[in-house]
Structure 1
Amino acid sequence: MPITPVADLVRAAKGQITTLSLEDARAEADAGRALLVDIRDVRELAKTGRIPGALHAPRGMLEFWVDPESPYHKPDFATDKRIVLFCASAWRSALAAKTLQDMGVENVAEMDGGFSAWKDAGLPVEQA
């Protein structure tokens, strides 16, 4: 049996999650209503920079950091703020947002276009 292409998984996830525009994600974060969470690999941050104030949570640890029963739980995720995930181009973040929804996280979204779109729009970036 052939595997399901990742593009199909991403498309299906995007049909079931909330996607915020760059402007809306930034406005919610600036207003204190959202926690921007960068799920890219640490090497990506070092190479391309990061969004000031965004929490870094590597994709491989995200579920463990979110789960309050996990020994790896991070208190940053015990929040009433909307968790807005982003990666480089909004593929990993779509899958991650769907996974968090499946875990029962209700206030989660992804940022449209990811870090690449943020940087291309000239929005603030700092070197990691």
Structure 2
Amino acid sequence: MQKLKTSAADLVAASRGRIEEIETRDLINMMHDPDVVIVDLRDIRERQRSGFIPGAFHCPRGMVEFWIDPESPYFKEVFGQEGKRYVFHCASGWRSAITVAQLNDMGFPCAHLREGFSTWEAQGGPVERSDLDWE
């Protein structure tokens, strides 16, 4: 197999060097702020298996650039709210770091949960579980 010029870990490290990272404890304290929108990038199967942050908006990673772009036919109004602070997360912080760097490059200011959902419950964050997740 051919060696990649840039590894996934390199992409994550480069992204983390230029984005805002939120610690788990800090996001737990912010989660009831009506001006904070938590966005879950994980696959629906991850949400079903591990649960999810109550009130988090589910946006599959593959659609995020299209859902935040007001000129896209896939635009979602949740991303057009004025005065909101958007914090994205995935399972471990890798996908969300790359995503947030990309969104910042597009002109969409946002941050990400540094350690992802992996430490959320252990640090006292509430988790909702459901057999059906049809967001």
2:122 to 108, 120, 127: 120
Structure 2 residue aligned with 1:101, among 95, 100, 104? 104
Deviation, 1:65, is 0.4
How far residue 118 of structure 1 moved from its aligned partner, in angstroms, is: 0.5
Q: Does structure 2 retain, via aligned residues, the 8 Å contact 1:25–1:34? A: no
Gaps of 5+ in 2: 131-135
1:22-101 alignment to 2 at 5 Å? Answer: 22-79=24-81, 80-101=83-104
Who wins on radius of gyration, i.e. which is larger? 2
Aligned CA RMSD, in angstroms, stands at 1.2
Where is the helix percentage greater, Structure 1 or Structure 2?
1
Letter of the structure 2 residue corresponding to residue 42 of structure 1: I
| Cα separation, 1, equivalents of 2:11 and 2:66 | 22
Aligned residues: 127
Q: What is the TM-score of this pair, normalised by structure 1? A: 0.93
Give how far 1:34 is off: 1.2
Match of 2:133 in 1: none
Give the fraction of aligned pairs with identical amino acids, expressed as a percent.
46
CA distance in 2, matches of 1:26, 1:18: 16
